[in-house]
Structure 1
Amino acid sequence: MLWYLTIFTSLLAASVLADKQRRQDGTDPTQPVGTNPISKFETKYLGQQNPNNSCSHRDLGFTGELQGKWYAVYGDTLWCASGVTDPASDPAGFHGIVRDAVSLMTDDPLVVVDLHLNDDTPVRHQLQFVPFNTAWGEDNTYGFGGTSLFETANGAGGVFYLVNANDAGLKGTGVAKVELVNGEPTVIQRFGDNGYWWPSDSTPRYGDVAAFRDPRSDYVYAWGGAPTSITDSIGAQYVYLLRVKAADAYDLDRYEYWWGPDGWKMGQPLTEFGAQRAVAWFIGQGQLVWSEFYECYIFVHLSPGGSDVLLRTATSLEGPWTPDVKVYTATPIDGGLTYAGVAHPYLNPSGQTLIVSYTNNNHIELLKVTFSK
């Protein structure tokens, strides 16, 4: 997902001026409102996450639940060299890659079980999670950056993903149907004539910023950045929202789009863009969780182009959101990028602690944040 960070980094200098301008006119509903209840906390660095049955470098790792188990969806997954069991011992060079992968979470956030392994010996490596389709002009170099798995109905699930054609640009975002096959989440169908529903040049990239199965309603929500045709430094950083009842996730006509002051409109994708239709501005990829401890939603993300791990809160998924609270500042590994905040709520349903992970130069690092009032 380096393209995402490149866009953010290149526009970071413009953000300060843009923020000042928007605050002056007082018409931007994406601006922070109120007081963040997260004021007393302790943060502990836990270490790096690795699989117990394979070996690779990876990014993202957004978590989601399917049939009572939690899984992580990763982006670029770089295989380690043959026979290497510890990523820290991996020699320099390219040893193979898949553009996304899925793993089973365990009770230890530092340990995952990789799924869909190939026949490499002596160490097996992960295969692609969202498959490419040559009939749509795709090949094994295409990226399929995905966010959280979500449960739909009758034991099935879904995942949002972004089709990235590399030098040819971003194609669009779509939804895939996921079922457990031999006990492993498996993509069995991608929707849309070209494998996606929302073209990147004319609609927001829904699901690429975040996706969330709301435990307090019947809905799945997905946040997406502005269409790629919007290139000005302010407009390109707005984030838009859609939702769908989980049981209807495979039916495009049942999706509802947030039109700001005009509320939700079913089957009517946005045709107007800007502050009044958006729900956020200049945020990193992240993940949401309902906090029983604070009785509100928490959005976990990293400062765009920076290394601060941030938490903001809201009582409604449409916003408004409180100001961010910084809970940690990561130290980039070898000068690399830090991005993609991830929540692990299944490890403590009470919400008094929250395990957070993020990508640090293709390593997944974890924190434990303990809250108090």
Structure 2
Amino acid sequence: MHSLVAASLLGLASASSVRRQSPPDNTQPTGKNPVSVGRTNFLGEQHSNNSCTHRDLGFTGLFAGDWYGLYGDTLYCAGGVTDPDQDTGGFNGMVRDALARLTDDPLTIEWAALNSDTPIAHPTQFVPYNEAWGETSSTGFGGTSLCQIDDHTAIVFYLINNNDAGLGGAGVAKVELQNGNPVVTKRMGDEGYWWDSTNTPRYGDVAAYVDVNSEYIYAWGGAPTTVTDTIGSQYVYQLRVRAADALDLTKYEYWWGRGQGWKVGQPLTEFTPETAVMWGVGQGSTYYSPYYETYMYVHFNGGDVAIRTAPAPEGPWTDDVSLYTPQPYPGGMVYAPGVHPYTDSTGETMTISYTNNNHIQVIKATFNSK
């Protein structure tokens, strides 16, 4: 009789412990990272051949046969200045994002659209603000890579930043070719966004990627703004959509963790280590390496440009391998690396640009033989 009571109590204790068990942490490193770096060379700073600016970000994307870089806050140099290192200082105007065509030389870009400033024209804003939605020229539009739908159409993810009023939401814009240049022709959603930042992840603000091995576009975003604790706010969540359906919100699929997988049309409402895919990585770039035959996420781990790998865009991701440690400019910081796949189709080398205090710097990593 005593043993039966003990067994019963043990069973209750076991059940209780199961109920109290924390959800699995799917952001922990899994598997072996195959990347081995032989050397990384600093190539220099990136400049434009048709204007003069200071800028940040520069996420790369392929559209209609050309590679483009999407930049964040783009500050105009003083009138007549052609070298940003010789700028006279002061505020001379800016746009909150701008698009440039990348050239064969990763140190040289060409702005896709310029204004009428003289004697030096400056880039125009890529994602337009809408005064009917309460937006102004100071409203931020943090965007990531152009994601092609077909030869004439692409989308771009962006995060609306209302400055003192906080983040609005994550949106998608339709991009079409006009006179050979990509132009935002429609912003989706009644207020210019689909995912309210207070209750959904900021999809696309961390990274966006067109999968070369499938028909999907993937996007990663940070936690909703209502998640304010230091640890929880740094988890990264994911969605995907078939490229052909990218302008239809009902077709988007949301990652609910390895246990539940993808759910079509069911936005994530549980923000835990189980439904997250990464933690604390910041903005970066996803890339499929034909050399290592694996997906890579390139980001900053502390002060290092680093790579983690995974068998699929949803992970699981390995630990990081460091490539390079930039020296930040005084008072500045380094962030947001962008991969330039067009520089080497074999994947034996990787060219990466990153922001160093409104300077875009470029490095080239050479991998060891497998």
Q: 2:298 aligns with which of 287, 297, 300?
A: 300
Tell me the equivalent position of 2:278: 280
Amino acid corresponding to residue 300 of structure 1 in structure 2: V
Does structure 1 residue 309 correspond to structure 2 residue 301? no
The aligned counterpart of 2:115 is 118
Q: Secondary structure at the match of 1:149?
A: strand
| Map 1:320-331 → 2, pairs under 5 A | 320-331=316-327
1:264 aligns with 2:262: yes
The counterpart of 1:84, out of the listed 63, 81, 102, is: 81
- The reply to whether residue 319 of structure 1 matches residue 299 of structure 2 is no
Identity fraction in percent: 59
Q: Supply the distance in 2 between the matched residues of 1:25 and 1:368 (Cα, whole angstroms).
A: 42
Q: CA deviation at 1:143?
A: 0.4
Q: Structure 1 runs of 4+ off > 6 angstroms?
A: none
**Larger mean Cα displacement after TM superposition, 177-186 or 196-205:** 177-186
Of the candidates 250, 254, 259, which is equivalent to residue 253 of structure 1? 250
| 1:170 alignment partner AA | L
SS at match of 1:276: coil
Q: Say whether 1:338 aligns with 2:322.
A: no
Judged with a 3 Å threshold, the aligned counterparts in structure 2 of structure 1 residues 183 and 235 are, in CA distance, closer, same or farther, namely: same
Question: Normalising by the residue count of structure 2, what TM-score does the alignment of the two structures yield?
Answer: 0.93
Equivalent residue number for residue 52 of structure 1:
49
CA offset digits 1:221-260 (Å, max 9, x no partner): 0000000000111111110000000011000000000001
Any residues of structure 2 matched to 1:1-373 within 5 Å, and which? Answer: 27-260=24-257, 261-303=259-301, 306-372=302-368, 373=370
CA contact (8 A) 2:282 2:299 kept: yes
Name 2:7's counterpart in structure 1: none
> 1:247 and 1:298, CA in 2 relative to 1: closer, same or farther beyond 3 A?
same
Q: Deviations over 1:116-175 (max 9, x none)?
A: 100111100001000000000000000001000010125200100000000000000010
Contact 2:306 2:323 in 1 (8 A): yes
1:236 alignment partner, SS class = helix
Q: Report the Cα distance in structure 1 between the residues aligned to 2:37 and 2:46, rounded to whole angstroms.
A: 26
Aligned Cα root-mean-square deviation (Å):
1.2
Please state whether the residue corresponding to 1:171 is helix, strand or coil: strand
SS in 1 for 2:126: coil
How does the TM-score come out when normalised to structure 1? 0.92
Displacement after TM superposition at 1:347 (Å)? 1.0
The number of residue pairs the alignment matches comes to 348
- Do the aligned partners of 2:27 and 2:316 also contact (CA within 8 Å) in 1? yes
Quick one: distance in 1 between partners of 2:271 and 2:30? 21
**8 Å Cα contact 2:23-2:274 kept in structure 1:** no
Shift of residue 26, structure 1, vs aligned partner? 9.1
Q: Which AA in structure 2 matches 1:341? A: P
* Distance (Å, rounded) in 1 between the aligned partners of 2:80 and 2:90: 14
Provide structure 2 residue ranges, at least 5 long, that are not aligned to the other structure: 1-20
Give the structure 1 partner of residue 16 of structure 2.
Answer: none
Cα distance in 2 for partners of 1:265, 1:257 equals 5
